[in-house]
């Protein structure tokens, strides 16, 4: 059995939130990809997303998980072949946003 208390604390982290998009329930992990090693940050992010996905399947299976990144970081990193391979291979849903204008620019479901 999953340790629900620990999972709820982790799922309640500052950069993880639940919302609704056009009547669908979603969960969003926001990442800034500002570390000196974007590949290391990608590795950590994949692990977190896998953990969150497993938790959601148990706690809220109707909720779809998205990774939110700024448009600048999307253009800087996620156009590279390794990032594209990881996103496709792990079926990661992306939410691209513009932080200055506080708008969502693009939804990329997989």
* Residue 45, pLDDT score: 94
DSSP H/E element including 39? helix 38-59
* Residue 6, pLDDT score: 41
Q: Which domains are delineated in the chain?
A: 4-108 (3.40.1350.10)
* Residue 54, pLDDT score: 93
- Residue whose C-alpha is closest to residue 71's, from 106, 109, 29: 106
* Residue 18, pLDDT score: 61
User: Which residues of the chain carry a pLDDT beneath 70?
Assistant: 1-22
| Strand order across the beta sheet in which 93-98 lies | 16-21, 24-30, 64-70, 93-98, 103-108
Which tokens belong to 39?
């590949």
Judge contact between 59 and 51, C-beta under 8 A.
Answer: no
* Residue 20, pLDDT score: 64
């Amino acid at each position: 059995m999953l340790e629900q208390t620990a999972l709820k604390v982790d799922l309640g982290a500052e950069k993880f939130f639940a919302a609704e998009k056009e009547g669908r329930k979603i969960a969003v992990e926001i990442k800034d990809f500002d570390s000196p090693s974007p590949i290391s940050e990608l590795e950590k992010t994949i692990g977190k997303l896998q953990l969150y996905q497993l938790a959601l399947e148990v706690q809220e299976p109707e909720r779809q998980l998205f990774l939110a990144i700024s448009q600048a970081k999307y253009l800087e990193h996620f156009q590279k072949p390794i990032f594209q391979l990881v996103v496709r291979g792990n079926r990661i849903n992306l939410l691209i946003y513009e932080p200055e204008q506080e708008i969502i620019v693009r939804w990329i479901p997989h």
